[in-house]
Amino acid sequence: MRKLLLFSLVVFIMNSAYSQESDEKVIEKIFDNVLVSNEAYNNLKHLCKYAPGRLIGSEESVIAVHFMKEYLEKLGVDTVFLQEFETPAWKCNHISIRMLLGDTEINLRADALGPSPSTPEKGLIANVIEVQGIEDLKSREKSEIEGKIIFYNRPVDMTFINTFRVYGSAVDQRYYGPAVAAELGAAGVLVRSVSTRVDTFPHTGATGFGEKRIPCAALSTVDANILSDALKIDNNLKVKMIIDAEDIDIITSFNLIADIVGNEYPDEYIVVGGHIDSWHNTDGAHDDGAGCVQSADVLRIFKELGIKNNRTIRVILYMDEELFQKGGTSYAEYTEENNIKHYMALEADAGGFSPEGFTVDASDSIVEFISGYRKILEPYGIYYIKKGGTGVDIEPLKKFGVPLMGYRTNPHRYMDLHHSAYDTFDKIHPRELQLGSGCMAAMIYLIDKHGL
């Protein structure tokens, strides 16, 4: 009996060791740990090497999930499981975009937008109408548009400081442009890549079709310039688009979920996650392999440092952020069916660059409360915590009143590589990646300990 008492006492002391330590001390330990750990970095290297192009429905997406599942199981967390859902999918098998100049065909570097339909097997050959955006297109005569390939070529506005706003200055052409062109009778669409570089990498992305779908692709910025220059010489030139893409009817896919059960309030979930899928044309190192390995790293940190959590910390690696956003919506449905209560959800989907801040989508009082943590996190590079949008995958939890957060990083290089083959592992810096794990773990530790 004395032995048992002693044992209980030791366990109690161990459990409460962290609650007796100051927040500053625990956070310092977190960063001391991440800056010499290389697990997140090595996991990301593996993902990029063995599961590039992991679009929902692809073999690579399954390889990625199983690799991360195995890793989380090895960490010895309490639960690891796949939350299945049914969804349509899409894939691109082949693309070729060529300018026809007399007898010569000049290849333009391009990638299909998702979910572009296929062209006829022999290609769609048509004249090209270059426009500077959707309004420009709408101002044209319908007769000018019908049967043509519409070429949206408005460049991004580089004068925004945050590259997510640079992106926002032109992405409407990609997201809404094909649907508008289809309504007006166009036969196909080419879009200038939404990128902060002038280079030869096409940047793909989702496009939002209505009833009518037409073949559509993104040209690299260099190739958009080539086409535009060629049109200045001969505005009668034709382009041949060949896209071989497939709608995939219904598949079973899944989100990967792993929990460390809370000691005080095991039924209250704090979610931290990223999305495991990427576009077909990229290794998806920053978008969003980084967010996935960092989220998994939060659990590693809690386990390795023996930090006891009051609430259940749940890592979710969402499938299908890119194409139809079915991972996020299906998880929200699943939690509604199972009456799962979320205390908070944090998403990391802004690249693995150095930490800069957190955005919070919650009541003003919660935003103000959380922003009080800026001071304790500033030495680690968190310069702001402010109201703002968070993440596509956690957004469906908002309707249940869940406070949402987004982890934000130095934005200057992100739109160079987003949705393109340029998003490779060598663009990842280990310290920057690992500081992100630390910031996310520290924020979750603070919210778990002190509540909202």
From the list 381, 391, 396, 436, which residue makes contact with a second copy (rule: CB under 8 A)? Answer: 381
Minimum distance of a second copy from residue 432's CB (angstroms): 5
Residues 68-87 that bind a second copy (CB under 8 A): none
Run of H or E including 352: none
379 part of the interface to a second copy, by CB under 8 A: yes
Of 441, 406, 451, which Cα lies nearest the Cα of 311? Answer: 451
CB of 38 to a second copy, least distance (A): 11
Q: 393 — phi, psi (to 5°)? A: -75, -30
376 binds a second copy (CB under 8 A): no
Q: From CA 308, how far away is CA 311, in angstroms rounded? A: 9
Position 413 contacts a second copy (CB under 8 A) = yes
Q: How far is the CB of 366 from a second copy (least distance, A)?
A: 23
161 binds a second copy (CB under 8 A): yes
Q: How far apart are CA 364 and CA 403, in angstroms?
A: 11
> Closest CB to a second copy among 30 and 64?
30
Neighbour count for residue 287 (Cβ, 10 Å): 26
In the shown chain, the binding pattern of residues 24 to 43 toward a second copy, with x for contact by CB under 8 A and - for none, equals -------xx--xx-------
Closer to a second copy by CB, 212 or 429: give it: 429
Question: Using CB under 8 A, which of the segments 96-104, 154-162, 303-311, 394-402 binds a second copy?
Answer: 154-162
Q: Does 410 bind a second copy (CB under 8 A)?
A: yes
Rg (CA), the chain: 24
Residue 436 DSSP class: H
Q: With CB under 8 A as the contact rule, which of the stretches 116-124, 157-165, 212-220, 332-340 interacts with a second copy?
A: 157-165
In the complex with a second copy, the residue whose CB is nearer, 127 or 354, is 354
Decide: is 375 part of the binding site for a second copy (CB under 8 A): no
Three-state DSSP at 417 gives helix
Interaction between residue 281 and a second copy (CB under 8 A)? no
426 lies in the site for a second copy, by CB under 8 A? no
Nearest Cα neighbor of 294 from 66, 78, 48, 44 is: 44
Compute how many other C-beta atoms are within 10 angstroms of the C-beta atom of residue 142: 10
Instruction: For residue 226, state whether it binds a second copy (rule: CB under 8 A).
Output: no
Candidates 435, 440, 441, 447; binder of a second copy (CB under 8 A) is: 435
- CA nearest to 157, candidates 146, 142, 168: 168
**Contact, 132 vs 226, CB < 8 A?**
no
Contact 191, 152 (CB under 8 A): yes
Q: How far apart are CA 180 and CA 170, in angstroms?
A: 15
Q: What are phi and psi of 93, to 5 degrees?
A: -90, -30
Residue of the chain from 7, 12, 81, 383 that contacts a second copy (CB under 8 A): 383
Q: Which stretch binds a second copy (CB under 8 A): 83-91, 122-130, 342-350, 380-388?
A: 380-388
Side-chain-facing half-sphere of 137: CA atoms under 13 Å: 31
> Which C-beta is closer to a second copy: that of 225 or that of 410?
410
* Contacts with a second copy, 182-211, as mask; x by CB under 8 A: --------------x---------------
Residues 6+ apart with CB under 8 A from 418: 167, 194, 195, 203, 286, 287
Beta strands in 319-437 (DSSP E): 341-347, 355-361, 384-387, 404-409
Q: Does 380 bind a second copy (CB under 8 A)?
A: yes
Q: How far apart are CA 389 and CA 349, in angstroms?
A: 11
Q: How many CB atoms lie within 10 A of CB 90?
A: 20
Rounded Cα–Cα distance for residues 276 and 321 (Å): 8
Q: How far is the CB of 40 from a second copy (least distance, A)?
A: 15
Choices 7-15, 89-97, 158-166, 291-299; region in contact with a second copy by CB under 8 A: 158-166
Contact between 412 and a second copy by CB under 8 A: the answer reads yes
| Nearest residue (CB) to a second copy, 163 versus 220 | 163
Kindly determine how many residues on this chain lie close enough to bind a second copy according to the rule CB under 8 A.
22
The 305-334 site mask, x for binding a second copy (CB under 8 A), equals ------------------------------
What is d(CA 292, CA 448) in angstroms, rounded to the nearest whole number? 20
Applying CB under 8 A, the residues found at the interface with a second copy are 31-32, 35-36, 158-159, 161, 163, 196, 354, 379-381, 383-384, 410, 412-413, 429, 431-432, 435
